A and B are shown apart, each in its own frame.
Chain A
Amino acid sequence: MKHSRLSALLLLVLAVSLVVSACGGGNKNTESPAASPTGSSPSKAPADKEPVTLKISSWNPISQKVIEKFEETYPYITVEPDQIADQYREVIRTRVISKADMDIVWMFPNQMREYVDQNVLMDMSGEAWKGNYLESAVQLGTVEGKTYGVPYNYYAVVIFYNRGVFNDLGLNVPTTWEELLDVSEKIKASGLAPFVTGGKDAWATQFMSSGNFGAYQDKDPLVFEKLASGEKKWTDPEFADFFGPLSELVDKGYFLENSVGLGNAQVVQVFKEGKAAMYPMGSWALDEFPADFKEFEVGAFPIPLNKAGEPLVVNLISDNIFTGISWSKHPEEVKLFMDFIAQPDTAKLWSEDTKSAVTVVGGTSPTYHSIAEELTKSIESNVSTIFPSLTPSMEPAYFPMLQQILLKQKPDLAKLMEEMQKAQEKDYK
């Protein structure tokens, strides 16, 4: 019985999702009270349209205000948000296998290619809204020249810092690697740990290494595709210093002692308690510092892994790609929604409502957080690239290496790059 655990589980999830999707289908007739137009319907929404329910699956909440505005504009459409906060990939995967009733689905960048190969996604190359987005965002939703979607939010990889500590010690925000080391040394000398990062949530420890991705992409925009196809190798000299920065910080004792066992939530807590001065993380962690956080003034700056004279490349992370499902029963309405969210006004509403930056040009609200304006300025004044998605075998190999370094096991960094390459080769086509 044990050896069927996995398949049994999969089948069960599949069966449940079938049942769930069947229920979703049933809603169509019972819901959508807005479907009976009262004469004031906008020009785009003819009064004789059948009521339509548009299902949108996402891992974070979809802006309720945007949904309301969309439903106002198209009274015959009811949006049914379907947030799956946990195990998102797995749930979507089982739904795709069972061809469940889906319309719009967020996809992670590294799911795009395989789902395109399986004809799961709707081709939206011809849509006019493409021009409204950052070029790099459209690229992320494009596979072999065809656009299947676009990521909507972006975050920057930054170092959060305790402004109080910086002010007391008379430190400036560093913009090069040398300056960062200098700042760290001074903080350490004052008796405080310069950095804190956990080890339990291995993904959260990656930014002092993954921060290099921006520079790699800046030099060669196709670098990660080349790595995935074998044209470049992780053992090539250009990647030799990949683990260098993290390793140097560990060797110099800049990380808070005994923090490898901490999960990211605990790390945030430790940083908030002022036990360390800097915390590398994505700007989504701004949520951790709401207006009523008064312990100290928090700031954030892009991670400067660049040596003096090199450009500072800001890493943006953008992963919630809005895609349409090829077997959706409402392809027209899917396109209406995609067009709707591409409008700067809608984007601003989203940005304000969800307190996040959006990829629609001119769509990010400057007031979504108290440090949003400053952060947006520092991002826009530098070169920026969107974080690539590594192929599936990479993270399980890469993240434990970070833990080895944090544990002061002093692994041979060249050997680690060989391991990275080995993991990469598993995903060669």
Chain B
Amino acid sequence: MRILNLKTFLLFLAPALLLYSLFYAGPIISGLYYGFTDWKGISFSANWIGLDNFKNVFSDPLFATALRNMFILAVVVIAVQHAISIFLAVLLDQKLRGVVWMRAVIFYPAILNTVVIGYIWSYMYSPFVGFLPKFFESLGLDTLANIDWLGRPDTAIYAISFVIIWQYTGYSMMIYMAGLQGISSDIYESASIDGANARQKFFKITLPLLVPAITVNTVLSVIGNMKQFEHIWVMTQGGPANSTQVFGTLIYQFAFKTSQPGYGTAMAILLSILIMLVTVSIIRVLGRWEVKQ
């Protein structure tokens, strides 16, 4: 009986285990291995070169650029996107007319294809054919109208951040709304009885009880922004003059464009370690702030 159980157990496990080994475990292990080689990507042969790839990554000036941009994206996007989405979540959690429709409109960009969004925004930003310059012009803001947003190293990364925020605000809003709906109305009632005003209710009840949703949202956006690739590739390809390079674009460039997949893999390993560290720290820090209802 026991043996039969084990057999059945293995039989059920086998397909998933096979797929997992083939598509996840195998590549992870071979990826780790290739990070320590000078693999050229044509054949399976590669020479072991120890830590050389990693040393080169650290001495590569593009590594610093990628770190800086990753930091900008993470901070700007998280701060702005989350402030807006918490505000919208609280607002659209009320029983207002047309609230369902408004939620849908705000959520809509999240379901659009990122590449399409990237192309559309590239045109919107363009000083020659774009909507944005015309918009600023009509307001009489000629200085702003003449800025080549994606073509200047000092504005490009922020212009891209704006698009990311625009796309994902609705998405985080939905998670916050789920969090809001989990807060018992009894707490608000008793607070009202105690004479709390709306502002106090928000800061003393809503926000502390939203921390679990904030944690989820923050982790999701941090991971999303640290491995950012699509928006940047479509809008600037890491330019101008490398000013918007991030790990995603660099890894792609090294792995596929310059025949250094070994080096690209080393960078990918570093990125995953970095993401792991940052994610764990965020969960730790925010975990402390969580309060039990």
Contacts and interface: CB of A to CB of B under 8 A. Distances in A.
Given A4-B27, A395-B257, 15 more contacts: A3-B273, A7-B27, A7-B30, A118-B42, A258-B127, A259-B148, A260-B151, A260-B152, A261-B156, A262-B126, A393-B260, A395-B258, A396-B258, A400-B240, A407-B240
Interface of A: 1-8, 10-12, 87, 89-90, 93, 96-97, 114-115, 118, 120, 199-202, 257-263, 266, 269-270, 273, 275, 392-393, 395-396, 399-401, 403-404, 406-407, 409
A202 B239 contact: yes
The 8 closest A-B pairs by CB, nearest first: A261-B151, A3-B272, A260-B151, A7-B27, A261-B150, A7-B31, A4-B28, A258-B148
Given A3-B268, A90-B256, A262-B151, A275 B128 contact: yes
Nearest to B248: A5
Interface in B9-28: 22-24, 26-28
28 contacts: A1-B28, A2-B227, A2-B268, A4-B24, A4-B27, A4-B31, A6-B31, A6-B264, A7-B265, A8-B23, A114-B259, A199-B151, A199-B240, A200-B236, A258-B128, A258-B148, A260-B240, A261-B122, A261-B148, A261-B150, A262-B151, A266-B128, A266-B129, A396-B257, A400-B239, A404-B241, A407-B151, A407-B240
Contacts of B255: 6
B31 A3 contact: yes
Contacts of B30: 7
Given A2-B275, A3-B268, A115-B42, A261 B126 contact: yes
Nearest to B259: A392
Nearest to A8: B27
B27 A270 contact: no
B212 interface: no
A342 to B, nearest CB: 28
Contact of B240 (A3, A97, A269, A403): A403
A393 B258 contact: yes
Interface string B147-184: 11111110010000000000000000000000000000
A202 B237 contact: yes
Nearest to B128: A270
Chain B contact residues, majority secondary structure: helix
A261 B149 contact: yes
A300 to B, nearest CB: 22
A400 B240 CA distance: 7
Contacts of B146: 257-258
Nearest to B256: A90
Contacts of A401: 241
B24 A8 contact: yes
A402 to B, nearest CB: 9
A201 B146 CA distance: 21
A33 B282 CA distance: 64
Nearest to B56: A426
Contact of A93 (B27, B42, B223, B269): B42
Interface of B: 22-24, 26-28, 30-32, 34, 40-44, 122-123, 125-129, 146-153, 156, 223, 227, 235-237, 239-242, 251, 253, 255-261, 264-265, 268-269, 271-273, 275
B129 A269 contact: yes
Nearest to B44: A97
Contacts of B260: 392-393
A407 B41 contact: no
A261 B127 contact: yes
A97 B265 contact: no
B42 A97 contact: yes
Contacts of B26: 11
A207 B153 CA distance: 22
A401 B31 CA distance: 32
A393 to B, nearest CB: 5
A319 B79 CA distance: 48
A202 B245 CA distance: 14
A200 B237 contact: yes
A378 to B, nearest CB: 30
B160 to A, nearest CB: 11
A112 to B, nearest CB: 12
Contact of A407 (B126, B127, B152, B259): B152
A318 to B, nearest CB: 21
Nearest to A12: B23
Contact of B251 (A6, A96, A202): A6
B153 A407 contact: yes
A258 B151 contact: yes
A118 B22 CA distance: 26
A414 to B, nearest CB: 18
Contacts of B127: 258-259, 261
A403 B153 CA distance: 10
Contacts of A96: 42
Contact of B239 (A2, A200, A393): A200
B43 A266 contact: no
B150 A400 contact: no
Contacts of B258: 392-393, 395-396
A180 to B, nearest CB: 24
Given A258-B146, A259-B151, A266-B129, A409 B241 contact: yes
Nearest to B227: A2
B149 to A, nearest CB: 7
A302 to B, nearest CB: 28
A261 B240 contact: yes
A400 B242 CA distance: 6
A352 to B, nearest CB: 34
A90 B272 CA distance: 23
A57 B152 CA distance: 39
Contacts of B126: 261-262, 266
Nearest to B236: A200
